[in-house]
Amino acid sequence: MSNTQNSSKDSSQTMESNPRSPMGAMGRQGRNSLNASSNGQKLRLSKQNRVSWPLTVLTAVLSLTVLVPLYFAFVSSLKTNATIGGLELPQIWNWDNYAKAWDLVNYPRAVWNTLIITVCATILTLLSNTFVAYAVARNIDKPFFRFMYYFFVAAMFVPFTVIMLPLAQEIGWLHLDNQLGLIILYVVLGLGTNLFIGIGFIRSIPESLEEAARIDGASTWRVFWRIIFPLMGPINATIAVMTVLWVWNDFMLPLIILTDQSNATLQLSQYVFSSQFTMNYPVAFASYLMAMAPVLIVYIFAQRWVVSGVMRGAVK
Amino acid sequence: MATTSQTSHASRNDAHNFAHKAKLSQPRRKVDRAYYWMTVPAAIIFAFFLYVPFIQGIMYSFTNSQGFGSFRWIGLSNYLALFQDERVWHAYGFTIFIAVIIAILVNLIAMFLAVLLNSRIAFKGGFRAIFFIPYTLAILIIGYVFRYIFMNPLPALGQALGIDWLSESMLTNAQLAWIPIVFVSVWQSVAYNTLLYLAGLQTIDQEVYEAAEIDGANAWQGFWRITFPLLGPFVTINAVLSLKGALGAFDQIVALTGGGPSEATETVSYLIYANGMTGGEYAYQTANAVVYFILLAIIGFIQLKFFSNREQI
């Protein structure tokens, strides 16, 4: 209970820091109803605050569908090939499996590659996709920019598989079959979705906020970086969260783009690893867990932020 | 669509005034040049990495290219061959089959979980965080974990309990291999859709329920008469999004079955990758990709319609 209340408070605060709630109609409604419901709760403490324990137990049981496979992966990673298979804790905790997996997949290298790609792609996405969204949002009534809007967003509906074969070839010709190529592709391929999320938000930022600066002679670029970009904070957080999760967990793009083994990302190295060493399951599980660990650890500390970020993208 | 329809009155008027003023003074300087600098270079790069390969793909689909070396034009031969290729038909059938099942299951489960997570349970935030974990994990890795579970502990359990169909791994059975694929896909994508439904539920004003409660409605009626109708737009979005995601199933196929046993679980994406990249069917699979695109464009078009409808509400 307390958790949700806090997070709804958080999000309404960030929104209120902007003069007008820069959200779609849905978001605004949502905020009002959240406020209304928390007010209602204060008024009728006895009725609304009553926790339903049967439902809580049901939720707890259902959450096992998520937790048990992860727990199973964890205990399996500490066993040996002879004892693996059950849910019981291992008798001897075989941490050695992690050391083996660490070497076999060249873990530090894979993490470093994935980290570099994720960080660069996310930062470049935030720094570039936002101004494209701004330019399109502010001129959507002009035929050229309306065309641009459809030009970018239409590509959202082109599944990656369709361009996969020629793209891999093109990337090869350009010698971009490395981290740099992946970073560029993530920034470019995410543009459609980010535009879609961003434009609605920018349109709800009143233009009057820019006018004062423009009268003082600020250029459009300056207006964007000084006024609009900072106001886009919440939606930038959404874009960042979604980009990080996509890039970090993506498998298909590294699979077809990267040619040099030493550039492999975490997911790709798991694929290579699994097709080579399938017999040693505990080591495999150790390696899977190490591949999941970075995101899981970040998620444990930032879960409220991640969840609300993705949710904001959903109600756009 | 979405935003353009939002534009409607206010900015159309703005545009009118603006155009009027501009006509009086300087007709050419309507839009600040910076706006063009913000979009045109991006559009060129975008076209270069998306539209160029797309057009190239269409072009190659009319050739016998291997992906390298020389090729000649062979007209519609690839397309004609595609329509007679049983493997391709099977891949489309299988893709649509699992996509529909995944979309239905994901939406049923996600809506149920969202209503549950929105009810008067304790530790709401904690549970919400737990149910969202799968969204943060790579589907490839999840697939590997579940492959082991479906290959070893589960058949062992089946044998112990004397259940025939469970005693053998479903992954090696051509008739049943779709079940683990659907399971893993659902396990992973329920998280995101639950969140979408939760967002939808929070747009419903609590007072409506209170009013219904005063009128003597029970929880069940509350759901079917209030929650479900008001969630309407979210149901359409969720259904279309999850269907679209499932139609592109790839990672889970790689992790679980590799298209097997005997090509039984090949999705279109997997077939294009496997045979186009390494199987020597480069031009043929680009033709397949074009057909796949047309199929998905139809679905995308419907999606576009749904989105703009929703925005008008």
From chain B, the residues in CB contact with A254 under 8 A are none
Contacting residues of A for B7, CB less than 8 Å apart: 140-141, 203
Domain boundary among B32, B54, B77: B77
The residues, ordered by sequence, that sit 6+ positions from A247 with a Cβ below 8 Å of its Cβ are: A117, A118, A121, A122, A186
Residue B67: its chain A contacts at CB < 8 A? 165, 169
In this structure, the answer to whether residues B57 and B84 fall within a common structural domain is no
Q: Is residue B94 part of a domain?
A: yes
Q: Is residue B106 part of a domain?
A: yes
Q: How far apart are the first and last CA of chain A?
A: 25
CA distance B216 to chain A (A): 16
Q: Residue B63: phi, psi to the nearest 5? A: -125, 180
- Which structure tokens are listed for B14? 């703005």
CB B261 within 8 A of CB A153: no
Q: How many CB atoms lie within 10 A of CB B276?
A: 27
Tell me the domain boundaries of chain A.
1-50, 60-93, 103-315
**DSSP, res B224:** I
Residues of chain A found within 8 Å of residue B311, distances taken between Cβ atoms: 24
Percent share of chain B, pLDDT over 90: 28
Q: Say yes or no to pLDDT of B54 above 70.
A: yes
Is A188 in Cβ contact with B145 (below 8 Å)? no
| Contact between residue A174 and residue B52 where contact means Cβ atoms under 8 Å apart | no
pLDDT at B79 over 60: yes
The pLDDT confidence band at residue B10, using thresholds 50, 70 and 90, is very low
Q: Is B213 on the interface with A (CB under 8 A)?
A: no
Q: Show the DSSP H helices in chain B as ranges.
A: 2-24, 33-46, 52-60, 77-83, 86-117, 124-136, 139-151, 153-161, 164-167, 178-201, 206-214, 219-221, 228-247, 251-256, 268-273, 282-312
Using a CB–CB cutoff of 8 Å, tell me whether A6 touches chain B: yes
Query: B138 at the A interface (CB within 8 A)?
Result: yes
Looking at the structure, do residues B37 and B110 belong to the same domain, yes or no?
A: no
Mean pLDDT for the stretch of residues B164-187:
87
Which residue type sits at B288? N
Per-residue confidence (pLDDT) for residue A35, from 0 to 100: 43
Return the residue in A34, A59, A306 with the most chain B beta carbons within 10 A, the one to mutate for interface testing.
Answer: A59
Please tell me what DSSP assigns to residue B280. S
User: What is the per-residue pLDDT across A194-239, written as a single tens digit (0 to 9) for each?
Assistant: 998 888 888 888 888 888 888 888 888 988 898 889 999 889 998 9
Shared domain check, B147 and B16:
no
Given pLDDT bands bounded at 50, 70 and 90, which one contains residue B307? low
Final residue before a domain boundary, out of B25, B59, B77: B77
Count of residues making up chain B: 313
Structure tokens, B176: 């049943």
Q: Phi and psi at residue B109, in whole multiples of 5°?
A: -65, -45
CB proximity A277 to B under 8 Å = no
CA distance B284 to chain A (A): 11
A281 and B CB contact within 8 Å? yes
CB B311 within 8 A of CB B233: no
> Is the distance from CB of B238 to CB of B193 less than 8 angstroms?
yes
- CA nearest B238: which of B199, B276, B207? B199
Q: Show the tokens assigned to B178.
A: 């779709």
Residues of chain A with pLDDT under 50: 1-46
CA angle B277, B283, B288 (to 5 degrees): 85
Q: Report pLDDT for A6.
A: 40
B204 belongs to a structural domain: yes
Instruction: Indicate if the pLDDT at residue B58 is higher than 60.
Output: yes
Could you tell me if B113 and B240 lie in one domain? yes
Residue B157, domain member (yes or no): yes
Per-residue pLDDT, B105: 94
Q: Give B312's pLDDT tier (boundaries 50, 70, 90).
A: very low
Rounded to the nearest integer, the mean pLDDT of chain B is 82
Q: Does residue B132 sit within a domain?
A: yes
- CATH label of the domain that carries residue B166: 1.10.3720.10
The pLDDT, as a whole number, for residue B121 is 86
Same domain, B54 and B201: no
| Contact yes or no for A162 and B39 at CB 8 A | no
- Element of type H or E holding A80: none
pLDDT of residue A23: 37
Q: DSSP letters along B65-101, please?
A: --SSS---B-TTHHHHHHHT-HHHHHHHHHHHHHHHH
Kindly determine whether residue A65 and residue B303, on different chains, have CB atoms separated by under 8 Å: no
Q: CA B202, CA A29: separation in Å to the nearest integer?
A: 8
Q: Does the pLDDT at position B173 exceed 50?
A: yes
- Between CA A283 and CA A288, with CA A286 as vertex, the angle to 5 degrees is 110
Give the residue with greater pLDDT, B304 vs B134. Answer: B134
Q: Are residues B28 and B51 in the same domain?
A: yes
State CA A126 to chain mean position distance: 13
Model confidence pLDDT, tens digit, residues B87-146: 999 999 999 999 999 999 999 999 999 989 988 888 888 899 999 999 999 999 999 999
**CA–CA gap between residue B137 and residue A250 (Å, rounded):** 10
Tens of pLDDT, residues B181-231 = 999 999 999 999 998 888 888 888 777 777 887 887 777 777 787 788 778
Q: Find all residues with CB under 8 Å of A126, minimum gap 6, and list them.
A: A236, A239, A240, A243
- How does DSSP classify residue A90? P
Asked if residue B101 and residue B42 are part of one domain, the reply reads no
Which domain does B57 fall in, by range?
9-77
Taking CA B107 as the corner, what is the angle to CA B104 and CA B113, rounded to the nearest 5 degrees? 140
Question: A153 with A196: CB under 8 angstroms?
Answer: yes
The answer to whether B304 and A157 have CB atoms below 8 angstroms apart is yes
| B52 and B186 belong to one structural domain | no
Separation between Cα atoms, residue B185 and residue B251, nearest integer Å: 10
Query: How long, in residues, is chain A?
Result: 316
What's the CA gap between B142 and B256, in Å, rounded? 9
Q: Is the pLDDT of residue B246 over 60?
A: yes
Q: Is B250 on the interface with A (CB under 8 A)?
A: yes
Residue B18 lies in a domain: yes
Beta carbon pairs, A and B, within 8 Å: 314
- Domain membership of residue B4 (yes or no) is no
Q: Report the number of distinct structural domains present in chain B.
A: 2
Could you tell me if B70 and B87 lie in one domain?
no
State the maximum Cα–Cα separation within chain B, in Å, rounded to a whole number: 87
What per-residue confidence (pLDDT) applies to B89? 92
A67 touches chain B (CB under 8 A): yes
| Contact B97/A at CB under 8 A | no
| Judgement on whether residues B143 and B54 belong to the same structural domain of the protein | no
Tokens of A214: 């423009």
For A156, which DSSP code?
A: G
CATH of range A103-315; options 1.10.10.1200, 1.10.10.10, 1.10.3720.10, 3.30.70.890: 1.10.3720.10
What ipTM was reported for this prediction?
Answer: 0.81
How are the residues of chain A apportioned to helix, strand and coil, as percentages rounded to the nearest 5?
A: 80, 0, 20
pLDDT of residue A315: 66
| Distance to chain A for B290, nearest Cα, Å | 6
* pLDDT tens-place string over residues A54-97: 889 999 999 999 999 999 989 888 888 777 777 778 788 888 88
Nearest Cα neighbor of A274 from B102, B71, B147, B272 is B147
User: Are B109 and A218 spatial neighbours (Cβ–Cβ below 8 Å)?
Assistant: no
* Statement to judge: residues B16 and B142 lie in one domain: no
Contact by Cβ (8 Å): B103, B242: yes
Final residue of a structural domain among B77, B95, B121: B77
Of A34, A62, A162, the CB nearest to B202: A34
Q: Is residue B3 part of a domain?
A: no
Residue of B nearest to A26 (CA): B203
Please report the pLDDT score of residue B4 as a whole number: 39
Phi-psi region of B69 (alpha: psi -120 to 50; beta: other; left: phi over 0): left
Q: Which residues contact A149 (CB under 8 A, 6 or more apart)?
A: A136, A140, A195, A199, B3, B4
Same domain, B125 and B205: yes
Q: What pLDDT was estimated at residue A49?
A: 60
Predicted confidence at residue B76, as pLDDT, reads 85
